Copies of this chain bind each other. A is one copy, B any other.
């Protein structure tokens, strides 16, 4: 490839050189708090890893030795009960920071849905570095606060919304997702891509796969959405769907 010849150093596999400079997630991630001139110090702490779909890279209960920063792709984060019941607590895509759990063990598992690139940091080393970069600590607090708000919203969904409202909320949330999470323009996307299976959606929304399927079929038959393929939903009536999602949609 001609690009290989134009920038040989970058592609040289023996040189782990300046990964941040070419990181697509940098602008959206916690790293944005770090000055360009200090990036090499951050880069020195990081290891780039690749995770294939279906592969886990965090196992609930394991010693929490690393922080992770998703560079591309999507993962599902989940907790299990001993009999196999599963709750997906979120999906992590480009820019997402993982591993905030305070204790010494991870409190959830993470598995790739799509091919992923992840930037991995030694936990103790990054913690030390945080002392020198309060701006990054500030950014982490911001991120954690945002996740907390999202978690509370999800509790409302799981505790009090109907299946119909849960699906509507899920689709609206996906459609309103920041553009870098999947490369489309900002604002509502009317086409929503679902990299996860129906089973994952069910485990995220506290439902069964059959209820998810039936409810989507119903929304389609009412003209609110179209489903050109199992992993693609087109939102036809965004406002109506939003009304359902918020709990003021009737039925």
By a beta-carbon cutoff of 8 Å, the part of chain A in contact with chain B is 79, 81-83, 85-87, 89, 100-103, 107-108, 130-131, 134, 137-138, 140-142, 144-149, 151-156, 158-161, 203, 205-206, 246-248
B102 touches A159 (CB 8 A): no
Point out the residue from B82, B145, B248 that lies within 8 Å of A100, measured CB to CB. B145
Q: Please name 16 further chain A to chain B contacts, defined as beta carbons within 8 Å, in addition to the given A83-B247, A140-B141, A158-B159, sorted by A numbering.
A: A79-B153, A81-B160, A81-B161, A81-B248, A82-B248, A100-B145, A101-B145, A102-B142, A102-B145, A102-B146, A107-B152, A108-B152, A134-B137, A137-B141, A141-B141, A151-B151
Main secondary structure of the interface of A (DSSP, over half): helix
Return 29 A-B CB contacts under 8 Å, by A number.
A79-B152, A79-B153, A79-B155, A81-B160, A81-B246, A83-B247, A85-B161, A87-B155, A89-B152, A89-B155, A100-B144, A100-B145, A101-B145, A101-B148, A102-B142, A103-B149, A130-B138, A137-B137, A141-B141, A144-B145, A148-B151, A151-B151, A151-B152, A154-B155, A155-B155, A155-B158, A158-B158, A158-B159, A159-B205
Does B86 lie within 8 Å of A160, measured CB to CB?
yes
Given known A137-B141, A158-B158, A158-B206, contact A149–B102 (CB-CB < 8 A): yes
For residue A159, which residues in chain B have a CB less than 8 angstroms away from its CB?
87, 158, 203, 205-206
Q: Which residues of B contact A161 (CB under 8 A)?
A: 81, 85
A138 to B100, CA, bound (A): 12
B contact residues around A146 at 8 Å (CB)? 102
**Beta-carbon nearest neighbor of A85 in chain B:** B160
Query: Please, how many angstroms separate the alpha-carbon atoms of A153 and B146 in the complex?
Result: 17
Give min CB distance, A173 to chain B, whole Å.
15
Question: In the complex the two chains form, what is the Cα distance from A35 to B209 in whole Å?
Answer: 54
Return chain B residues, CB-CB under 8 Å to A141.
100, 137, 140-141, 144
A138: B residues at CB distance < 8 A: 130, 137
Inter-chain CA distance A5–B178, complex, in Å, is 61
- In the bound assembly, the distance between CA atoms of A221 and B198 in angstroms comes to 40
8 closest cross-chain pairs (CB), A and B: A159-B206, A81-B247, A151-B151, A158-B158, A144-B144, A87-B156, A87-B159, A102-B145
For residue A155, which residues in chain B have a CB less than 8 angstroms away from its CB? 79, 87, 89, 151, 154-155, 158
* B156–A81 CB distance below 8 A: yes
